Structure 1
Amino acid sequence: MKQFLIFVKKEWLHIWRDRRTLFILIWMPIVQIILYGFALTNEVKNSNIAIFDQSQDQASTDISKEIAASRYFNLVKNVHSYQDVGATFRQGKIRLAIIFPVNFRYDLLHSNHAQIQLIADASDPNTANTLTNYAGSIINDYQQSLTNNEQLPYTIKTQVRMLYNPELKGAYSFVPGVMALVLMLVCTMMTSIAIVKEKEMGTMEVILVSPLKPFRIIIAKAVPYLFVSLLNITSILLLSVYVLDVPIVGSLWLLMAESTLFTITSLSLGILISNSAKTQQTAMFIAMMSLFLPTLLFSGFMFPIENMPVPMQVISNVVPSKWFYIIIKDIMIKGLGFTAVWKETLILVGMTMTLLGISIYNFKIRLA
């Protein structure tokens, strides 16, 4: 028994002294439960909306206040024309627009029925469906409070219109998300593994004594994976158009240029990982843990970012796939041009330059 306890003590000391093992055993579950507890939710909250109130009467004002006070919605703008509604959607500022017609209250009280139009951004069909249901429930509650639950003939009908994806196909959200996930994982992981493999095989020393400068060595290692990624992009787009019936509404050349930019960003991140990893297994582990989960959680692909607490929304800004996902949806699904995505493009360019700069600066000319 004494020998058994000695071995138990020895193993405990080994775990306690190994910081990596200690982090995995103790801190990783804590981080995951906090992260998943806040990020993984099917509930849609704090969605940005706009209201176009052409009536400006007591009934439309009361309904607008109830919708704005709901935790599901965040009123960001009161628009004054249908053109303003369309422009706000194209800018990506709102997910839902609520439109009250002229003489809303008069029609309700004298004609016994009135109509409200709900326009949703259906590029994310699940969120669009959920938001229209939320708004419809609030409108029904107001109708019941108006009649005091009596059988009065007052009826408020909601007319729902889905922008960009009227059939609510899931592929419209799935394809951009898969593009971001595949390019990020394939480019980053394969680039980092390829460079680390040279270190393990001992061929990196031969490369380093060549006349090439470190910058050119890094670029030379990344170029083949850039072309492979372009083939992946082409195959994904062909499958999405001809198999999944997801059209490319915007410019194909702009879409390919933005995808190439994101690919270069991912390759730069893979080069950065290869500088710190000593084995292929380590490089693969770092790439999977640091990219797979953040891409799923913080890109907006599976879970709306506005549902998350503010600190997590801030963290999502450093995830490149978030900005690429926005770009792909705007160009491919909404048919917008460069003027709509120039900010996201500039962010990806800045990330690429930063990652490449750090990678080149930390590139070790001497391995031993």
Structure 2
Amino acid sequence: EAFIGYLEEAEGAALKTQTAATELAPATAPATIARGPAPAPDFSLRRAWAYARREAMEIRRDPIRLAFALLGPLILMVVFGYGISFDVEHLPYAVLDRDQTPESRSYLESYAGSRNFELRPPIRDAAELEQRMRNGELKLAIEIPSDFGKDLKRGRQPEVAVWVDGSMPFRAESSRDYVQGVHLMYVAELARRALGVEINTLPVNIETRFRYNQDFKSVFAMVPGVIMLLLMLIPAMMTAVGVVREKELGSITNLYATPVTRLEFLTGKQLPYVAVAFLSFLSLVLLALWLFQVPLKGGFVPLAGGALLFVAASTGFGLLVSTFVKTQIAALFAAAVLSLMPTINFSGMLTPVSSMSAGGRLMGYGFPSAHFQKISIGAFTKALGFGELWMHYLALAGFTVGFLLLAIVLLKTQED
């Protein structure tokens, strides 16, 4: 009723304006016959607000949609935050020691003392090694040759075989680096014992220090990226379903029977989802600070400003998707697939955009996710703000306007 009242009030104001203009027109003006509804005036904030209030009431009356919009991102944040990790700790490994000498045991003790490795029961033969590596019980296997101790005493260089599970290349590469580090430390200690002096195994020492993430924890990079992913996925799905729902129920005919413009209709449908998505952003930031202990080194205002532009762009993308689908299921899947593919592969969440090919960079920066990823990572880890990231804020504003204009054009084409 409030929605209809707002529209009637706005229409009444338009009719009064039209009547006054008719009375002021010359009496000799030729009479015209009106065909169809009166042409709509310019953009009316009141009519757009009427649609926004109506959509907000529908969201409040639908507990499933409301729970999905507010609780869904929190649940997915916990799942992704703990489930997606590139940290290599407590790597399960076992040993096939064919030598069984004090020298081989001394070498293997170097691995047992590291927190990066977790020792499992020893391996008896090559067949067992293959079986345990294949079923995933072991991610690393160390094979000591039979003459390891003798060759070491004679000054030879015995070869130690290290088998690494390469099914996950990033972890496999990190595991290899850890093994090489432990091996070099053992060689240096062995030389010190033999000669009684400190021996530099390399002519130049490299001292590596990690900036912005000193503990080198993947959660500091993954949590800001997951916030970006969820703010792209959930709002786009919710907005697309909200508009297509009007088509299925037939209530979209109000757009054609009233003086409401397409801009007012789409803006009114978009505003409640922008508000809900921004509330979701606030809860995700609190979860990142409290549960995952990810510090926000930059200012909250630059991050919140970027998030507001980003959810406006993601809901605008949902409006665009809704213009070429006719069912809620199709809208749900289309919004999910079309937003997930560029967000995961080209946003910089897993691979930096700068290291991609020219086509990959074009795909990345041609979608809003890559721009908010820069803002999110910059605010959380590098204390960046408006001054350093202003181009990404402008890009998000451009995506917001561009998606909305495309949705208006496509909606008009469908009506025609």
Class of the TM-score when normalised by the shorter of the 2 chains: 0.5 to 0.7
Q: Is 1:334 aligned to residue 382 of structure 2?
A: yes
What TM-score comes out, normalization by structure 1 length?
Answer: 0.57
Q: Output aligned runs, 1:134-213, within 5 Å.
A: 155-213=203-261
Relative to structure 1, is the Cα distance of residues 298 and 154 closer, same or farther in structure 2, using a 3 angstrom cutoff? closer
Equivalent in 292, 312, 316 of residue 268 of structure 1: 316
Q: Output aligned runs, 1:273-292, within 5 Å.
A: 273-292=321-340
Relative to structure 1, is the Cα distance of residues 256 and 283 closer, same or farther in structure 2, using a 3 angstrom cutoff? same
Alignment partners' CA distance in 1, 2:279 and 2:222: 19
Question: Unaligned 5+ residue runs, structure 2?
Answer: 1-85, 87-169, 185-198
SS in 2 for 1:363: helix
Alignment partner, residue 312 of structure 1: 360
Contact 1:198 1:204 in 2 (8 A): yes
Equivalent in 232, 241, 252 of residue 300 of structure 2: 252
What TM-score comes out, normalization by structure 2 length?
Answer: 0.51
Alignment partner, residue 68 of structure 1: none
Equivalent in 366, 370, 373 of residue 322 of structure 1: 370
Tell me which amino acid in the other structure corresponds to 1:342: W
SS in 2 for 1:161: coil
State the Cα RMSD in Å.
Answer: 2.7
Alignment partner, residue 87 of structure 1: none
Q: Output aligned runs, 1:1-368, within 5 Å.
A: 155-364=203-412, 367=415
Aligned length: 228
Larger radius of gyration: 2
Alignment partners' CA distance in 2, 1:152 and 1:242: 44
Alignment partners' CA distance in 1, 2:292 and 2:249: 43
Contact 2:225 2:377 in 1 (8 A): no
SS in 2 for 1:157: coil
Question: By how many angstroms is 1:352 displaced?
Answer: 1.6
Taking only the aligned residue pairs, the percentage that are identical comes to: 30
Alignment partners' CA distance in 2, 1:265 and 1:352: 4
Relative to structure 1, is the Cα distance of residues 365 and 290 closer, same or farther in structure 2, using a 3 angstrom cutoff? closer
Tell me which amino acid in the other structure corresponds to 1:341: L
Relative to structure 1, is the Cα distance of residues 350 and 152 closer, same or farther in structure 2, using a 3 angstrom cutoff? closer
Alignment partners' CA distance in 2, 1:173 and 1:194: 33
Alignment partners' CA distance in 2, 1:153 and 1:197: 69
Alignment partner, residue 56 of structure 2: none
Tell me which amino acid in the other structure corresponds to 1:177: G
Question: By how many angstroms is 1:319 displaced?
Answer: 1.9
The one-character-per-residue Cα deviations of 1:111-140 (angstroms, maximum 9, x if unpaired) are xxxxxxxxxxxxxxx89x97xx69x99xx9
Question: Unaligned 5+ residue runs, structure 1?
Answer: 1-41, 43-125, 141-150
SS in 1 for 2:259: coil
Relative to structure 1, is the Cα distance of residues 316 and 153 closer, same or farther in structure 2, using a 3 angstrom cutoff? closer
Higher strand share: 1
Alignment partners' CA distance in 2, 1:339 and 1:325: 16
Relative to structure 1, is the Cα distance of residues 303 and 210 closer, same or farther in structure 2, using a 3 angstrom cutoff? same
Question: By how many angstroms is 1:358 displaced?
Answer: 1.4
Contact 1:208 1:365 in 2 (8 A): no
